Chain A
Amino acid sequence: MKDLRRYYFFACMLLIWGMLLAGCATEHRFINKVKFKGTNSIIVTFAGPVEDGWAKNISNYAAYEKPDPDIRLKIARVSLSPDKRTVTLTFEDELNQQQAHILSVKDIISEGKSQGTAFLTVKKLYFGYLFSILIGAMIIGNFVFTKYLGLCVFFGTSQKKTTAIGMGITFTIVIVFASMMSWFLYQFVLKPFRLDFLQIVVFIGLVSLSVQAVDTILRKVNPALFKAFGVYLVLVIANCIVIAVPLLLADNEYNAWESLMLAIGAGLGFLIALFLMSCVRERLEISNVPHTYRGLPIAFIVAGLFALAFMGFSGMVIF
């Protein structure tokens, strides 16, 4: 029994370590840096000097926007810096820098040796990109008010401020936990075994598993908090945001940090939505609502007004 426990601990540690490594790994060992420059060029910095003839051959490079691999962007010219480590690719058209670009560099030749083919992701200002995912999931594309997901839990737990905040916090914890696990399983188990058609089944299992785990651990570690969460912890399973986020991040091929940001954003967005709604509903308790509208009907109208207000954020671009 004790041995089993130790092995299990080691297996978990190994999993977490692998996940962190995969999250921070650089994309190709021979390439130091890729970034946008100006409106229509990309700079690639190599770890060592590359060969002249290879670097100046346009057919060695291909670039496309991440969502449309079929549309190749036309490269106008390639120039190599005097120290032969930096290549500047100039494109015919302006690049849409909000989108991540994939740049493939074929058979890199450096000092007579081949360094293999590299597929690079070019993104504008990485931390800004992460931040824009966070704000995008939290406010601009709020899951409740712009995508209309998770409504039954939203109306069920937004009657009082205290329950709303409790539910929001529980939800954020569970969604971060569940979506990181499903990201890991999707990238390292489902995709290599070509089982991505089973993603919905696996993700639902993972969500209920993480809810069960949080429930078991919290019951022992912090009984007061457990009592405060009460029935909401189990209600998280019935929330469809918690299954939408893993599906979204599998669809968009996000990496570990981007998935983390999407999950935190979705959780905090739900917390904000619940808090706003509970404030209004507490006020509605003491106001004179027509008899037919009392209770849920007026709550739906208020939610619709919130959705209208949140439409004001739509199309906003950060960074």
Chain B
Amino acid sequence: MDPVLIKLALGGLVVLGCIGIFFGIGLGLAANKFAVKINPKVEEVLEALAGAQ
């Protein structure tokens, strides 16, 4: 295969991987910083209630 194409493909993999890692870390940090605490008891109580509707 043409080495130029291989170079392009590998470069593409690296670049897209970097973009992915960058935004992944960003979203992870955002999720960490803006985490909303949900009281686990809310779900337990909802489970225990009849709540057919």
The reply to whether B15 and A193 contact each other, CB–CB distance below 8 Å, is yes
Q: How far is the CB of A54 from chain B (nearest CB, A)?
A: 38
The residues of A that contact B35 with a CB separation of less than 8 Å are 220
Q: Which bucket holds chain A's interface residue count?
A: 20 to 34
B15 pairs with A8, CB closer than 8 A: no
Chain A residues 159-195 with CB under 8 Å of chain B are 185, 189, 193-195
| Interface of B: prevailing SS | helix
- Complex CA–CA separation, A107 to B19 (angstroms): 38
Q: A185-B19, A220-B34 given as contacts; is B11 within 8 A of A212 (CB)?
A: no
Residue of B nearest to A219 (CB): B36
Contact A212 B27 (CB under 8 A): yes
Residues on the A chain within 8 Å of B36, using CB: 219-220, 223
* Chain A residues closer than 8 Å to B19, beta-carbon distance: 185, 189, 202, 205
Segment 1-50 of B: residues with Cβ below 8 Å from A: 8, 11-12, 15-16, 19-20, 22-23, 25-27, 29-31, 34-36
Residues of chain B within 8 A of A193, CB atoms compared: 11-12, 15
- Could you tell me if A221 and B27 are in contact, using CB atoms closer than 8 angstroms? no
Q: Is residue A21 contacting chain B, with contact meaning CB distance below 8 A?
A: no
Contact B29 A8 (CB under 8 A): yes
**Closest chain A residue to B23, Cβ basis:** A209
For A7, give the chain B residue with the smallest CB separation.
B25
Q: How far is the CA of A8 from the CA of B27 in the complex (A)?
A: 11
Write the nearest CB–CB distance from B32 to chain A, whole angstroms. 9
Q: How far is the CA of A228 from the CA of B22 in the complex (A)?
A: 31
Give the A-binding residues of B (Cβ under 8 A): 8, 11-12, 15-16, 19-20, 22-23, 25-27, 29-31, 34-36
